[in-house]
Structure formats: C-alpha cells, structure tokens
Amino acid sequence: MTAAAPAPDRAELSRQIREWFAEAGRDLPWRHDDFGAWGILVSEIMLQQTPVVRVIPRLEQWLERWPTPAALAASAPGDAVRAWERLGYPRRALNLHAAATAIAEQHDNVVPEDVPTLLALPGIGDYTARAVAAFAYGHRHPVVDTNVRRVIARAVDGVGEAGPPSTKRDLAAMELLLPEERAAAQATNAAVMELGAIVCTAKKPLCEQCPVRDLCAWRTAGYPAYEGKKQVVQKKFEGSDRQVRGLILAELRASDIPVTAAEIEQVWADAAQRERALAGLLKDGLAVAEGSGYVLP
C-alpha cells in the first residue's frame, strides 16, 4: 500500500504550468505561428523517440527540400529514407512518405485536422494524431506523451513514475487539466509536455526550480519511491539485430547502385544474424532486391 497523496487543485496546477511555460518555454521552430501543419506533422514524426537537438537541423533541411506533402510524394520513398540519415527508426521515413502520398492523393495536399483521419495515416498514432490536431489546428484535445504521463503521475497522482500506458486513462487524466478555451487548452498541452521535458525529467528532476513544487502531490507525499510495475529494459544494442539492420541500411543509403550480397557480408560476420536482419529490412520495405543486390525502395 502506498500512502494516498491529496490531488492538487487541477485548475490551479494547470494555470501555473501555463504561466511558467509562457515565460520559460523553449523557442522551438515548430512553435512559431507560421510553421504550418505539414511542418508540424514532420516534426512530430521526427520527434518520436528522437531528441529535439538532433531533430532541428534535419527538419529544416527536410522542409526546404519537401515543402509540401505532394513534394515528398513525388520523390521515391528511398529518397526519404536517405534524407532521414541517422535519426533512427528509419521506418518512420517510409511511413512519412506513405502518409504524404495519402495526403496528396486523398486529402487535396492538406494535412487532415481531425483525429480519426490522422490516425488512419501510417506512422501516426494516439500521440501524433492529437499533437497535430492540437498544435497545428488549435483543436481542443488532450495530448499525451511520455512527458505528460510523468508530470501527471507525480504532480497529480503523487507517484514517482507513470505506470504502464493506457490511452483511455491517460487521455482522461490530461483532459482534467485542460481549460475550456481552445487557445488555453493548446498552451496547456505544450506547457505540461515542456515541464516534463526540461524540469520534471525522468532521471534527475529539478524539483527545486519547479514552478509547481508547492502543488506537487509527489513532493507533498515526500517523494515516495516508485513501487509499481517496472518498465521493460531495452535489450543491449551492441551485437543486436537492430545494430545489424542499421549497418546494412547504412550501406544501402550510401550507394546509388545495388549493394551486393558480398558487400553486405562485409558489414557483419555472423551469417545467420545477417540474413535475419536483411530479411527484416526486405519485409519492412526498407530494402528491395534489384538485379544482383539490394537497394532502397
């Protein structure tokens, strides 16, 4: 049993986080008024599991080259994978190309603004769909990412970490922090996310400089240690299939002509693992057989 912490006044908590954000929030490219829905969509995809500092330069180059969904759709998917460079999870590039194609062909080259339509696009899930609807179009939706879940777990629920994700429960919890007015709701989404990103961080939270330290239920309860279910630790990257996939894909990115099986043998010694990685890339559509070798799609 954990000691129950009194939940703070949500309206006041929300207001104070918004106030802090207005003054201390980072000036990020996608927060500018004229950034556009396409730019916001691309940024959200790139930000899935990739840090802000690594995204910014790649995003700028991407939008310069492909300023609209139709522009991206007109290029080969492999060009998107190549331009993705080393952002990680390259299937996101493939999905983004496919989403751009759907937007160009089925939505008159306009990024959809309703959540169900966004959810139907490849690579867009619960978080990204609501982020685009809220940040690009100002619609009033709760936006829940890992930062938001952590802030709510601590400030509202009084526990050190968020439990396992539950879309329904998480959205309902964030909804309780949203004011009625659309612009204020939009600001709240960005503000709570920002608080989790730069103050209420996973590892060493900066509780002493937190704008809501006086309301925080976790602080009130004396920072009890997390007792819930532990998150699964990711398997070691070194020597993993993921590493081999990455190495093979790097070869394909770097070459304009088919990469031969002999060349792929050079990137990894273990044949079984190599074959498994290549098969995975082919299955995912990140590589295709051509002539005597393999190329990007």
Partner DNA sequence: AAGGCGTGGGG
Partner DNA sequence: TCCCCAAGCCT
d(CA 153, CA 151): 5
Complex with DNA: residue 130 or 219, whichever CB lies closer: 130
Long-range interactions of 131-137: CB distance < 8 A, separation 24+: 131/40, 131/44, 131/189, 132/37, 132/40, 132/41, 132/44, 134/185, 134/186, 134/189, 135/30, 135/40, 135/44, 135/186, 135/189, 135/190, 136/36, 136/37, 136/40, 136/41, 136/111, 137/37, 137/113
Complex with DNA: residue 219 or 245, whichever CB lies closer: 245
For the chain, what is the total number of helices (H) and then of strands (E)?
A: 15, 3
- Taking the complex as a whole, how short is the minimal distance between the CB of residue 47 and DNA, in angstroms? 4
Binding site for DNA (CB under 7 A): 28, 30-31, 43-44, 47-52, 54, 86-91, 95, 122-129, 131, 145-147, 164, 193-194, 196-197, 201-204, 231-237, 240-243, 245-247, 249-250, 280, 286
Complex with DNA: residue 231 or 292, whichever CB lies closer: 231
Complex with DNA: residue 134 or 156, whichever CB lies closer: 134
- Taking the complex as a whole, how short is the minimal distance between the CB of residue 6 and DNA, in angstroms? 27
- Taking the complex as a whole, how short is the minimal distance between the CB of residue 285 and DNA, in angstroms? 10
Complex with DNA: residue 241 or 263, whichever CB lies closer: 241
- Taking the complex as a whole, how short is the minimal distance between the CB of residue 179 and DNA, in angstroms? 20
Token digits for 254? 């770097």
Closest CA to 46 of 136, 134, 128: 128
d(CA 212, CA 12): 9
Environment class of 256 (CB within 10 Å of its CB; exposed 0-12, middle 13-18, buried 19+): exposed
- Taking the complex as a whole, how short is the minimal distance between the CB of residue 100 and DNA, in angstroms? 14
Task: Give the C-alpha distances (Å, rounded to integers) separating 212 from 22, 186, 207, 216.
Answer: 14, 19, 9, 6
Complex with DNA: residue 16 or 95, whichever CB lies closer: 95
Q: Which of 12, 19, 23, 44 is catalytic?
A: 44
Q: Is 105 annotated in the active site?
A: no
d(CA 243, CA 228): 31
H or E stretch at 64? helix 52-65
- Taking the complex as a whole, how short is the minimal distance between the CB of residue 131 and DNA, in angstroms? 6
Give me the active site residues, please. Answer: 44
